[in-house]
Structure 1
Amino acid sequence: MNVVTDSLKSGSALADDYINHYARVQDLYGADFREDAAWSGRAEWLDASEETRIDRKALVACLRRYNNKHNDHQEVHNSLDLLEQAGTLAVVGGQQSGLFTGSLLVVYKALTIVLAAKEAAERLKRPVVPVFWIAGEDHDWDEVNHTYVMTPELQVAKIKMDAAPGPRGPVSQIEVSNERWKRSLDHLASLLPDSVNKPEIMDLLHQTAEASGNLSDAFAKLLGRLFGESGLILLDSADPALRRLEIPVFERMVKQNDELGETYQTAADRITGLGYPLQAEVAADGANLFYIYEGNRLLLYKHDDVFADRKGIVSFTKEQLETELANHPERFSNNVLTRPLMQDSLLPVLCTVLGQGEISYWAITKDAFAVLGLQMPILLPRMSFTLVSGTVRKQMNQFGLTFQDVQHRFGEARQSWLNAQAHLHIEPRFEETRAAFERLYDPLIGELGTIQSGLLPLGEKNKSKILEQIAYLERKTKEALEKRHEAALRQWDHIAVSLFPNGKPQERVYNIFYYINRYGFGWLQDVIGSCTRYTAEHQIIEM
């Protein structure tokens, strides 16, 4: 396994500047993750603010019950024992609970959390534990109900789990029947090529499905299988026991809702004023809290001290909302802008591991932390990888392709290679032919128009048909050339679908079990072992 760094195209201008040009955006964030002083300063602040967070022992008792059920590893218990002690810090990151863990970036985020916690402990000479925040309270089923693998036919195949009809509440509360699990598992099994690892994979996934009533439970069990031995603590944001601990935090969010809303609005104006698009909606009347009613997760807005959803299904005065919170905390849920505040109110967050989209919308929350007596933690960009098999590397070398060629110039490089095989520059030759034809034909049309005006549109129509025929011949020539070099072009397709499936970075599409099927469970530990230090640079792993 060889690891090299190379750039990956950014999906967010704001996040790209945060990572590569921090001075441009430093006013939008708390501290620069590259500065040692930021880490020591954050640790000192966490020590001084210990009493402002939820009681450690109560939190750890809740997390221990959850991890006993889904992530029962001795190393996890060791992490929980440390977290219970004053002075222990945490590296935290989270993701929605995707089908079979979702795309590779979820695994890479967990890997980053583990590695960053280990490195921070060495840097600060004190305990730092890794925590993965499962966003089970999110209700967008269509974002989590699918994943992708590559088929032997070089197709990007989607495995999807349909939900039963009913309300769209938190994903952790949407039951998944045995029949739906079976359909998804059978589909995955039909797509994965046979290998020595496939029986173990399918056995693991079947056992996980049998023990899981919803996607979040299965997600937790699989993350535990992959990272439990690294001491990764799991937390489900929809855990009812955790929600009861969060009552005081929600109370502050309700009481100081106007102040929080003002900070979000001001930050949004500052971000757009700098020319960056917003990555999260900031409604002027938004309460930035959800209420779960009859299974549906409703976003609340406020008008004249009344909290209600857009359709008016539920409506509360501030006092009624506070009473409802005291009696039914399980009915409350954070939105994308209050989740960071809840995370910091529960855990001693040294740093939070974020993807680029998250880095962008966290800029909206900077001043909101202060409203609740908090400070924005260090934002650590998730580590990013592209896996390159030996076969793909050999094919790239054969065609003289670099990673940047595949990322930015693949179509042009492919056509250029194809043209060279015929010793005929197809596109330039046909372009020359079109130009020569128009150069000769246009004057003729003009002259015909002097004879009779009706001949002018007839000539233009005739010209258009001839150009269509030239274009048709060009297409047929390219098709014939592709047919002649079908085997080589399949290698080109293999490169593209391996590294940038559907034109997207590999890590945003494929599922980890596609790679485990090929390389075994041990390759992930090899990746962890090869990453001796954290880096924000994109890394190419040559398998």
Structure 2
Amino acid sequence: MPTDCIPFRETHYFSSLICDYLEEKPELQRFYNRFPNLENFEAQIEEKSAFKGLSKSHRHVLASVLEQQYTDVNPSEATLLNISLLKESNTFTVTTGHQLNLFTGPLYFLYKIVSTINLTKELKAKYPDQHFVPVYWMATEDHDFDEINYFNFKGKKIQWNREDGGAVGEFSTYGLDHVFDLYTKELGVGKAADQLRVLFSEAYLKHDNLAAATRYLANALFSDLGLVVIDANQSDLKRAFIPYIEQDILSQISSQEVSKTNALLSDIPETDYNIQVNPRAINLFYLSKNSRERIVFEDECYKVINSSITFTKEEILKEIHEFPERFSPNVIMRPLYQEVILPNLCYIGGGGELAYWLQLKDYFEAVQVPFPILLLRNSVLIKTNQQSKKLDKLNITNRDLFYKRDTFINKRVRSISNIDIDFSSQKTHLQEQFKDMYALAEQTDSSFLGAVKAQERKQIKGLEHLEKRLLKAQKKKLADQVSRMTELKDQLFPNQSLQERAVNFSELYLEFGDQLIPQLVLNLQPLKQEFLILNL
């Protein structure tokens, strides 16, 4: 399929922090371990192999938990083989994580997982003596229900309304039959629409909780590609995390280290980096039925806020050892939990995720856990053949599409107009003339400088006003072409946002059917690190 790539910085949709990271700016190098290129994975494999937490017994526990979690799913031979391979010391993972968004949520859910799958293929070709398993980490312990209870379809919000509370993975799927009824009416008719109906109903109407439904959905979409889906909200897995839970409870090490890193990031000169997350004194929640609340240390005891639960030091240590599953890491500690229980080499995430990962390296070093390679997931703009033909007819380039809508329209009107609407040369000529007037004022009476400057500003503003009026008149004259351009721009950038952040995969599935994911697998190159424009 025809493709094109644009550097992430030139899209204007990614932060300066992420763009500087991709360009390997020296001031950021202390905040990550190794840059994501194929050659650096050799050292990453060696470092992870030496991690004492990856014992043979732990690998067997990991594989056993995964086998148990797949008992109610029909995994492919590739997935079952990958789970079995995790028992071996020469097997490593590449991981991406995502919330349990209803019916995958935004389109980039697919790009995260395909990036992960494709990187394992590249690693296997480079290092044939090792095995590499793609892992999707379900964020089952999150409690931000409002972020996941909907997806956008053909400009409409398909939403699941229910009471909030507790870890979302344990939410009952009760009530999703009403969502299915609403969604199925919007789908229309055809083979692809019927396939989507079956996929939704099999996932959400035949599984009891959101974690099981999401596992089924991800397995149905990617099982043949060997994807392994993990729900880490499990007591046997958390038992391996007990030492780090104790460290955070007793010495609050995560807060200390991440706060130091945040200060270092903020002090980098001539940057506008935003601190993505700020640590709390204790970065753990306490999980109970329908509840996930923060743990705090107050009045010489440990308290679970919004509850009557309190612990002495001895009591909370006893609770950690007897019920580790009740302790849930927040955004600061979740990455550490992942790296402790998985033989992981690389984390693949979006710009916001990588931004907070860059705050964690010193924390990982303090607790002696290898810090993974960080890779920005693939980003994609998908165009249909019909859209591509219309864009070609209007002489609109891929780079033109990434301008904000007003800039895009103004630029295109200037381009196709039969008169020159750009007054830049006139402004330059005017400014040159005023240079002589400034010199004259300085020779006579410097008090006139203010008057000259005011007159210059007035005349420049006059030219800008004329330019805007002329542009407005030309837009009116070229209304038909402006309308067609605007319609195409809005189709590809809904609500002036990236397609991948606003559209659900099912919209494109209606267009491309079961060839959508194979085409993504064929075209996404995770280590290329550019924005992909794909014509399907």
Query: Which amino acid in 1 is paired with 2:169?
Result: S
| Secondary structure class of the residue paired with 2:374 | strand
Choose the corresponding residue for 2:165, options 129, 152, 168.
168
Matches within 5 A, 1:198-237: 198-237=193-232
Choose the corresponding residue for 1:149, options 139, 147, 153.
153
Residue 48 of structure 1 aligns with which residue?
A: 50
Query: Which amino acid in 1 is paired with 2:150?
Result: H
- Give the drift of 1:530: 3.0
The Cα offsets for residues 103-150 of structure 1, whole Å up to 9 and x where unpaired, read as 111111111111111111222221111111001100000111111122
Residue 63 of structure 2 aligns with which residue?
A: 60
What is the count of residue pairs matched by the alignment?
484
Is the counterpart of residue 21 in structure 1 residue 12 in structure 2?
Answer: no
Q: Give, in whole Å, the separation in 1 of the partners of 2:361 and 2:298.
A: 25
Query: Which amino acid in 2 is paired with 1:400?
Result: N
- Give the drift of 1:426: 10
Is the counterpart of residue 120 in structure 1 residue 123 in structure 2?
Answer: yes
Residue 348 of structure 2 aligns with which residue?
A: 353
Q: Give, in whole Å, the separation in 2 of the partners of 1:330 and 1:29.
A: 30
Residue 192 of structure 2 aligns with which residue?
A: 197
Residue 111 of structure 1 aligns with which residue?
A: 114
Q: Give, in whole Å, the separation in 2 of the partners of 1:51 and 1:427.
A: 64
Query: Which amino acid in 2 is paired with 1:267?
Result: T
Choose the corresponding residue for 1:518, options 511, 514, 519.
511
Q: Cα 1:493–1:62, aligned 2, differ >3 Å: closer, same or farther?
A: same
Contact persistence 1:115–1:533 (CA under 8 A): yes
Residue 130 of structure 1 aligns with which residue?
A: 134
Q: Give, in whole Å, the separation in 2 of the partners of 1:260 and 1:306.
A: 19
- Give the drift of 1:247: 3.8
Query: Which amino acid in 2 is paired with 1:16?
Result: C
Contact persistence 2:116–2:135 (CA under 8 A): yes
| Secondary structure class of the residue paired with 1:227 | helix
Matches within 5 A, 1:341-490: 341-415=336-410, 481=476, 485=479, 488-490=481-483
- Give the drift of 1:246: 4.0
Is the counterpart of residue 39 in structure 1 residue 41 in structure 2?
Answer: yes
Residue 265 of structure 2 aligns with which residue?
A: 271
Q: Cα 1:394–1:410, aligned 2, differ >3 Å: closer, same or farther?
A: farther
| Secondary structure class of the residue paired with 2:293 | strand
Query: Which amino acid in 2 is paired with 1:297?
Result: R
Q: Give, in whole Å, the separation in 2 of the partners of 1:521 and 1:292.
A: 39
| Secondary structure class of the residue paired with 1:287 | coil
| Secondary structure class of the residue paired with 2:360 | helix
| Secondary structure class of the residue paired with 2:382 | strand
| Secondary structure class of the residue paired with 2:402 | helix
- Give the drift of 1:214: 2.8
Q: Give, in whole Å, the separation in 2 of the partners of 1:272 and 1:251.
A: 29
Q: Give, in whole Å, the separation in 2 of the partners of 1:377 and 1:406.
A: 35
Q: Give, in whole Å, the separation in 1 of the partners of 2:173 and 2:285.
A: 23
Residue 158 of structure 2 aligns with which residue?
A: 159
Residue 88 of structure 2 aligns with which residue?
A: 85
| Secondary structure class of the residue paired with 2:137 | strand
Q: Give, in whole Å, the separation in 2 of the partners of 1:338 and 1:280.
A: 11
Note the aligned Cα RMSD (angstroms): 2.9
Q: Cα 1:27–1:399, aligned 2, differ >3 Å: closer, same or farther?
A: same
Q: Give, in whole Å, the separation in 1 of the partners of 2:16 and 2:300.
A: 37
Q: Cα 1:312–1:485, aligned 2, differ >3 Å: closer, same or farther?
A: same
Residue 460 of structure 1 aligns with which residue?
A: none
Is the counterpart of residue 306 in structure 1 residue 301 in structure 2?
Answer: yes
Q: Give, in whole Å, the separation in 2 of the partners of 1:511 and 1:121.
A: 31
| Secondary structure class of the residue paired with 1:175 | coil
Residue 452 of structure 2 aligns with which residue?
A: none
Q: Cα 1:393–1:130, aligned 2, differ >3 Å: closer, same or farther?
A: same
- Give the drift of 1:521: 1.3
Consecutive unaligned residues of structure 1, counting only runs of 5 or more, are: 151-155, 429-469
Q: Give, in whole Å, the separation in 2 of the partners of 1:490 and 1:117.
A: 44
Q: Give, in whole Å, the separation in 2 of the partners of 1:39 and 1:214.
A: 37
Q: Cα 1:185–1:240, aligned 2, differ >3 Å: closer, same or farther?
A: farther
TM-score when scaled to structure 2? 0.83
Contact persistence 2:115–2:524 (CA under 8 A): no
Q: Give, in whole Å, the separation in 1 of the partners of 2:247 and 2:63.
A: 22
Query: Which amino acid in 2 is paired with 1:374?
Result: V
The Cα offsets for residues 185-235 of structure 1, whole Å up to 9 and x where unpaired, read as 222223334333111111221122222223332222111111111111100
Contact persistence 1:172–1:215 (CA under 8 A): yes
Is the counterpart of residue 527 in structure 1 residue 524 in structure 2?
Answer: no
| Secondary structure class of the residue paired with 1:350 | strand
- Give the drift of 1:264: 1.1
Choose the corresponding residue for 1:325, options 320, 325, 328.
320
Q: Cα 1:248–1:72, aligned 2, differ >3 Å: closer, same or farther?
A: farther
| Secondary structure class of the residue paired with 1:297 | strand
Q: Cα 1:513–1:48, aligned 2, differ >3 Å: closer, same or farther?
A: same
Contact persistence 2:409–2:486 (CA under 8 A): no
| Secondary structure class of the residue paired with 1:90 | strand
Contact persistence 2:177–2:205 (CA under 8 A): no
The Cα offsets for residues 455-505 of structure 1, whole Å up to 9 and x where unpaired, read as xxxxxxxxxxxxxxx9xxx9xx989949x956x555324322232111111
| Secondary structure class of the residue paired with 1:107 | helix
Greater displacement, 125-134 / 529-538: 529-538
Contact persistence 1:268–1:282 (CA under 8 A): no
- Give the drift of 1:29: 1.1
Choose the corresponding residue for 2:535, options 534, 539, 542.
542
Query: Which amino acid in 2 is paired with 1:263?
Result: E
Q: Give, in whole Å, the separation in 2 of the partners of 1:357 and 1:501.
A: 20
Q: Give, in whole Å, the separation in 2 of the partners of 1:427 and 1:45.
A: 58
Choose the corresponding residue for 1:99, options 88, 102, 108.
102
Q: Give, in whole Å, the separation in 1 of the partners of 2:337 and 2:364.
A: 10
- Give the drift of 1:273: 1.4
**Percent same amino acid among aligned pairs?**
24
Query: Which amino acid in 2 is paired with 1:315?
Result: T
- Give the drift of 1:281: 2.2
Q: Cα 1:21–1:247, aligned 2, differ >3 Å: closer, same or farther?
A: closer
| Secondary structure class of the residue paired with 1:169 | coil
